[in-house]
Chains A and B, each alone.
Chain A
Amino acid sequence: MTMEDKLYIISVYSENQVGLLTSISSIFTRRNINIESLTVFPSEFPKIHHFTFRIFTTPESAAQVVRLIEKKVEVVKAFWFECNEVNASEHDIVNQFLINRN
């Protein structure tokens, strides 16, 4: 952790798949990013799970982590934002994605 590191939330919508949590968390560990907290719960969309990770990092690294998470086959969408922000748009984005690709 350096001076520029801030607390970010990485928010992930994904289909359920055995092993996915391992492979997402390895994206953090490989880059020496500690996971401060982790929650997994069913999202507001049927059969879609919602993961949130709180991590200390830089904006560049948060953005790259999100791109790497989105590369996983089962992941619908991933977002990053500062911990005290609220991302109001993610519901609409995921909703639109699921409508477009069904």
Chain B
Amino acid sequence: MTGAEILIESLLAEGVDTVFGYPGGQIISVYDKLYNYEDRLKHVLVRHEQGAVHAAQGYARATSRPGVVIVTSGPGATNVITGVADAMVDSTPIIVIAGQVGNAALGTDAFQETDLVGMTCPIDKWTFQIRKPEDVAPAVAKAFHIASTGRPGPVVLDFTRDAQNGVAEFKYNKCDYIRTYSPCPEPDEELIDQAVEMINRAEKPFVVFGQGVLLSHAEQQLLEFLRKGGIPAASTMLGLSALPSDFPYYVGMAGMHGSIAANMMTQECDLLIAVGMRFDDRVVGKASEYARNAKVIHIDIDATEIGKIIPADIGILGDAGTVLEKITEKMQFSFHDEWAVKAREYDKVENTEICLPETAPVEGPIHMGEVVAKVAAVSNNEAIVVTDVGQNQLMSARYSRFSKTRSFISSGGLGTMGFGLPAAIGAKMGQPDREVCAFLGDGGLQMTIQELGTIMQEHVAVKIVVLNNNWLGNVRQWQELFYKERYSQTRMLNPDYSLIAQAYGIKYRLVEDRAELDEAVKEMIEAKEPYILNVHVEEAGMVYPMIPGGKCVDEILIRKDEWFDNGR
């Protein structure tokens, strides 16, 4: 068997059914062999390699299985780098297989040769250059093991032409052990006991959980832990949907545009329990003042995260599910009702001052939050919500409601505009039976708009909501608030999306009037095919509440020039 065939057989042995890719000169041998496997391995032809990697990320986030990308060398490989960096910081398991020139041509500036190993090894979990056909199967096996265990992440395989065309025997052994790699440390029982004691003693305990809960499949363990301890909990943006939105102890999203309750309670709690999260600066604000009255228990699978930003009184290294289960078993039943209901008091203010005016305005242009809330209601809170980056993302995070896990897919740490459309394609291909709804700004849509071609060719029934305000809205918001309304290069004109939709043969509707919104959203959700809903929303829309960068998380703007006042 050639190395190219071994690659495909190895992918099948790992249970891969879908790959996202784009052919080219130095990966052509793999594509030639792929031709024989069309009935067993679905290849999705994207329109740009960045689309392939974001689609693989969407696929991985929706299914929890690694997403696979196949691209050519040189520009094909450099075009996936944004997605590799994105998958690293957002802990997404993907495997990128990139063609490379022949061994003899390495380092000679050959046509479409680039130093992919040098470029990706600082920003991925593992990089390996395959130079011999007999190395293909072991490299793929290691790649899957490394990408999907411990804190998941991207793996890059740089696949030289000699390794693709050379012949070797195929024998596949799954990898479950690498001696220098211990992905899942057993939690220290002594630390668990100390944590239990600290939790039992706490009067105002508070949980902030992140994507680690989803990655560990620890949703149920978290729920039971919160129930038994009577502990209110906030989510990071990437942790959204790990708890159902209507769970009584859930107080919303923490951070810059999170709920007032989540941020105020962070400052008031006497014990902060962080589960599978990494204290991103968008969550923490001014780190030296964060959770200033609290002791901190930090549970994470990645040793480099514990104590990196916020010092932990107890840092427990391990899988979130295992650790939570052990703690729940040992701790006592508690109620902190007086403390937990504080959230509802903050919610009252937030609802009156911010949420209701945003989601149910009676006059003026359509608001972004209004559209998101409408889609959530019509889809019965069951859709997978995919977002781009910016106000569309923040509004989707704030006003979507979730009843199922793995329902929020967004570029968190890297904040990659252009992520939304291809990620939605990947999510839908991974979860064809679920409704997938992408909220995109007009800026982000135009960064990867070419992937409408992929939707056309593959008939991917994603629902695309364009929150169209003719601005790069999030930057515009910062310019309005912090740069004296000097709107430098944020005004952006749009093409006629009806013609674009028509060109790609995608169903389309424009909504400019509030009276039409309800019916249009219903029509979109009921459609069985891809659908673009272009909603003209208010141009000067702002996302509140907002903790300006570097401020403490209890310094919350609820309007321009108006701070949240705890006294009223």
The distance in angstroms between the C-alpha atoms of A76 and B118, with both chains bound, is 21
Interface contacts (Cβ under 8 Å), in number, total 44
Binds A, one of B123-131, B467-475, B537-545, B560-568: B123-131
Contact of B180 among A22, A23, A27, A75 (CB under 8 A): A75
Known interface pairs A14-B180, A64-B308; A71-B121 also in contact (CB < 8 Å): no
* A 1-32 contacts with B by CB, 8 A: 14-15, 17-20, 22-23, 26-27, 30
Contact of A73 among B117, B126, B129 (CB under 8 A): B126
Q: B304 near A73 (CB under 8 angstroms)?
A: no
Residues from chain B with a CB closer than 8 A to the CB of A22 are: 117-118, 121-122
Q: A83 within 8 Å of B by Cβ?
A: no
**Closest CB in chain B relative to A77 CB, distance in Å:** 9
Residues from chain A with a CB closer than 8 A to the CB of B121 are: 19-20, 22-23, 26
Which residues of B approach A to under 8 Å, CB–CB? 117-118, 121-122, 125-129, 146, 178-181, 302-304, 308
Q: A68 within 8 Å of B by Cβ?
A: yes
The distance in angstroms between the C-alpha atoms of A71 and B125, with both chains bound, is 9
Known interface pairs A19-B121, A22-B121, A22-B122; A71-B304 also in contact (CB < 8 Å): yes
Q: B122 near A74 (CB under 8 angstroms)?
A: no
The contact sample of 10 A-B pairs, CB cut-off 8 A, is A22-B122, A26-B122, A27-B122, A64-B308, A73-B126, A73-B178, A73-B180, A73-B181, A75-B180, A98-B179
Q: A82 within 8 Å of B by Cβ?
A: no
Q: A67 within 8 Å of B by Cβ?
A: yes
Known interface pairs A75-B180, A102-B179; A18-B129 also in contact (CB < 8 Å): yes
Q: B302 near A71 (CB under 8 angstroms)?
A: yes
Kindly supply a per-residue 1/0 record for chain A positions 55-87, scoring 1 wherever the CB is within 8 Å of any chain B CB and 0 otherwise.
Answer: 000000000100110110111100000000000
The distance in angstroms between the C-alpha atoms of A20 and B118, with both chains bound, is 9
The distance in angstroms between the C-alpha atoms of A23 and B125, with both chains bound, is 10
The distance in angstroms between the C-alpha atoms of A85 and B127, with both chains bound, is 34
Shortest Cβ distance from B120 into A: residue: A19
Of B118, B179, B180, most A-chain CB atoms within 10 Å: B180
**Closest CB in chain A relative to B147 CB, distance in Å:** 11
Residues from chain B with a CB closer than 8 A to the CB of A74 are: 180
Residues from chain A with a CB closer than 8 A to the CB of B129 are: 18-19
The distance in angstroms between the C-alpha atoms of A17 and B146, with both chains bound, is 15
Residues from chain B with a CB closer than 8 A to the CB of A101 are: 179-180
Q: A18 near B117 (CB under 8 angstroms)?
A: yes
**Closest CB in chain B relative to A100 CB, distance in Å:** 9
**Closest CB in chain B relative to A14 CB, distance in Å:** 7
Shortest Cβ distance from A74 into B: residue: B180
**Closest CB in chain B relative to A66 CB, distance in Å:** 10
